[in-house]
Structure 1
Amino acid sequence: MSEDRVRPSGRSRGYLTRRTFLRAVAGAVGALLAGGVGVMWYGLVFEPDWIEVTRVKVRVASLPRAFVGLRLAHITDLHFGWFVGAAEARAAVEAVLALRPDLVAITGDLVSRLTEVEARIINDELSRLTAPLGVYVILGNHDHWSNAEGVAELIAGAGLTLLRNASAVIEQDGQALYVAGVDDVWERKADLSLALDGVPRDGRAILLAHEPDFADEAAKDRRVAVQLSGHSHGGQVRLPGRGAIRLPRLGRKYAYGLFTVGTMALYVNRGIGVAFPPIRLNCRPEVTLLELAPA
């Protein structure tokens, strides 16, 4: 028995054939894939090397007059290792030096591993950092996980001042400002009372603490005027309307930027390097220039 097949002689303009539909879907998928590849390329190759210089005015109560207008360059989380090498280190150092700061602070995680390669980067590149009032460094959790004593030795060899639960005094025109640093909070090495031991009761201190959420503890001591931190990388990947998709422990409350915690100012820098996965999206690496002003 034969079967008559009837084909329509024409279709309305709104009619969509299966072939047309599949072509449209294939085109959309192709566009999405191409867009995804573009985003991945941008996040893996372009943005991680695109340093942003952020200028911030920080108001400090009872700031000694001699330090009004002090310009402090802050970098953090260099993460020399698998994904960050000499070229990235050189770019960060040159960005800092171009600002001509009075003081430089590095708030930990200099390395993700420590081999002869990373040692050479610290010797060759970080040793170039200089400022009239000094360059001060603390250790982060990755420095401890790699080789804390080895990193500490390299910091000293580069001519930088390492603060491990210690402080240094800066004097200008007969007035004093203190720079204090705690050892790593994650590794339970931080001792705030020891770090501030040399700061008088009426003194004002800038505290370097790798993990930003330590601010809740630091703010209890009124000698701490400003805390500078890193650790969070700002999340590395930030989505519009949502923010960071992932933040590390001790870096979730204060992800990045300027905060007021009690009477203390807190600035959290997004960092220079990356942790795994080695991608940045809407979260450029950062060099911060902070200017101190009276509250």
Structure 2
Amino acid sequence: MIELIGLIMVIGFLLLIYMLREAFLNNIKYEEICFEDYPEAAGPLTIFFISDIHRRKISDRIISGIDGKADIVVIGGDLTEKGVSFKRVEENILKLKGLGPVYFIWGNNDYEVEERTFRNLLESNGVILIENTSLLLEGSGSHPVALIGVEDLSLGRDDIEKAFDGVPEKSFRILLAHNPDTIKKLRKEHKVSLMLSGHTHGGQIRILGFGMYQKGNLSIIAGTFVLVSNGYGTTALPLRLGAPPETHLITIKGT
């Protein structure tokens, strides 16, 4: 019996070490998606998408792996959370700024910090906030690429109709929404081609392949490509199992 207990303790300790190691991996997933409705006059657009950073410090390995490859950077929410120093947040922002223009949407944990200070930090570092609104990328011509951002669904701060107000009828639409359940609020007339989300951490800890949430993936839902990321950081405990952290270099272009 003592030997069995000892064996269980050793296995448990080794599993804990493995989960801790997995939580701090630095993965870049490369996605290339072709769209029939992508503007003919526009060249390929490459987006570095990173979500759910939380308490992590972005590794220089991630930055060097992306350097010179991205046109824009999108932070998909949960850049921070309660207890994270603004100094750490600013260090992460400055690293991402070196890759290209940075766009940000709010996640539920971002609201845990002092909002005015956080907002000032983002704006003073040139981060572009997309809050239930949209913007058009430069050089898109008469058939622009629109970035549409909604605030967090779980806190009831999202406003889909406000976000889409003023988006040109003829535009290629990319929706940025921290919570992937936002897809349930979309209608056919919103004409979203691609949606980028995080929030779920892929379940973070999956036992025998099962977790609280589906593992991150790229899928097609009602004609919309939906990328849900496992995210870069962790919540509650710095542990992962079966849902490794990930960032994404996404290239979108016409067929």
TM-score normalised per structure 2: 0.89
In the alignment, structure 1 residue 112 sits paired with structure 2 residue 88: no
Letter of the 1:78 partner, please give it. I
d(CA) in 2 for partners of 1:73, 1:134: 10
Distance 1:62 1:262, change over 3 A: same
Distance 1:256 1:170, change over 3 A: same
Residue 215 of structure 1: CA displacement? Answer: 1.0
Correspondence for 1:141 among 108, 112, 125: 108
In the alignment, structure 1 residue 227 sits paired with structure 2 residue 166: no
TM-score normalised per structure 1: 0.78
Residue 67 of structure 1: CA displacement? Answer: 3.9
Distance 1:92 1:275, change over 3 A: farther
The secondary structure found in structure 2 opposite 1:38 is helix
Paired residues, what number?
A: 254
The CA RMSD over aligned residues, in Å, is 2.3
Residue 105 of structure 1: CA displacement? Answer: 0.8
Report Cα offsets for 1:142-197 as digits up to 9, x if no partner: 11233333322221122110100111111336342011111111111111121122
Correspondence for 1:70 among 37, 45, 50: 45
In the alignment, structure 1 residue 53 sits paired with structure 2 residue 28: yes
In the alignment, structure 1 residue 185 sits paired with structure 2 residue 160: no
Q: Whose Rg is larger?
A: 1
Matches within 5 A, 1:74-223: 74-80=49-55, 84=56, 88-91=57-60, 94=63, 97-98=66-67, 100-113=69-82, 118-130=85-97, 134-172=101-139, 174=141, 175-223=143-191
d(CA) in 2 for partners of 1:227, 1:219: 13
In the alignment, structure 1 segments of 5+ residues that lack a partner are: 1-24, 248-253
Residue 218 of structure 1: CA displacement? Answer: 2.7
Letter of the 1:146 partner, please give it. V
In the alignment, structure 2 segments of 5+ residues that lack a partner are: none
Contact 1:237 1:279 in 2 (8 A): yes
d(CA) in 2 for partners of 1:51, 1:162: 26
Letter of the 2:22 partner, please give it. E
Letter of the 1:172 partner, please give it. G
Contact 2:76 2:105 in 1 (8 A): yes
d(CA) in 2 for partners of 1:178, 1:131: 23
Contact 1:95 1:287 in 2 (8 A): no
Residue 122 of structure 1: CA displacement? Answer: 2.4
In the alignment, structure 1 residue 38 sits paired with structure 2 residue 38: no
The secondary structure found in structure 1 opposite 2:114 is helix
